[in-house]
A = this chain, B = another copy of it.
Amino acid sequence: MEAFNYYNPTRLINGKDKQQEIGKILKEDGIEHVLLVFGKSSIKRSGLYDELVSILTDKGIRFTDHGGVKSNPVLSHTREGIQKVKENNVQAVLAVGGGSVVDESKAIAAGALWDGDVWDLFKGQKTNKALPLYTILTLSATGSEMNSGAVVTNEETLEKFSFSSPATFPKVSIVNAAFTFGLPMDYMAYSAVDAITHTLEVYFTAQEMPLLKRRFIENIVLTVMETTNKIIKDPKDYDSRAEFALASTWALNGLTTIGVGKYSFPNHMIEHSLSAIFDVPHGAGLAVVLPAWMKWYKEKNTKAFERFAKEVFGLDTADQGIVALEDWFLSIGAPTKLDALNVGVIDNKEVAENAFLTSKKWGMSDVYSIETISDILDIAR
């Protein structure tokens, strides 16, 4: 087993109506003014916005609105948020939404205490300072509610980059799975694909992995699949929603990679370029890239692919396991071919060059050549 250093101080609160606790939590932490970060109008339509305004007002906590976060959050809007923090003497960030809102909020929280431009952090500069971040999750998928990473797109350069800091773990994350009752089923499918991909990238790229970890990941994948199937049948199945939420948090809060040898995230790297250029939903892009990458990669870790087929699908060969996963993606309504993304002509070279440059800039351990990425995209046609 590899040496590790695991640290995750996020308090994770999960339950019906738990958003009601946010006022008390902020008050106890001495917070008097928050930046309220959210996406489009869904939290206004659902009544959650009004509920939070009432909770904050009751506790005498002021707030500055920062709505309009995009589903692939962008740098210009992040900078606007930082500006609002500085102008309004804001002490904390309250993110209300899914992974995109949480990611932009992390960038705002760190950027607000960073002397230069926030994009410096995405280009590799390090910070240990951030405003305290609180999140109320309305969509489970990215795991961002319990890790320190954030991905933001620079719209000018079409770079979708990430950063993390020990200071950007949310202090408290509140998950009320009932908020996801109204989620359109295609987005439910994308969420499932995202959570599964977070674990499978590690599972397949790490050559050395204790059985404890292999089984842990298989458990998460099985749980995501089982609960997704139940949610599609009965969208108001709260227990399945809550279990899905927990599995997707576990998929990327550090637990899957403890003690694991070298691993990488090539599918995320390729998908980030797809969505930076074509603005496709992250999970939809992953559903296309992952099966193609698996077909291309399978000989590099045959044992893991065979084990995956057997433990997750009860099948015998690596190929059967890949096809079963692809079929399952299709069965829940996720696209598995580039054409099915419906974003017009996708040029291999444009995506591959972007992904190649991005992975080099990220300092990824396993940088794929432009030709390799192009080959993988071909398999997805």
Contacts and interface: CB of A to CB of B under 8 A. Distances in A.
Contacts of A8: 8
A215 interface: yes
Contact of A219 (B6, B13, B219): B219
A229 to B, nearest CB: 12
Interface residues of A, number: 35
A246 interface: yes
Contact of A5 (B6, B13, B246): B13
A11 B15 contact: no
A343 interface: no
A223 B246 contact: no
Contacts of A368: none
A242 B1 contact: yes
Contacts of A1: 14, 239, 242-243, 246
A219 B212 contact: yes
Interface string A1-13: 1111111111111
A258 to B, nearest CB: 7
A9 B210 CA distance: 24
A258 B216 CA distance: 15
6 contacts: A1-B242, A2-B15, A7-B9, A7-B10, A211-B243, A215-B215
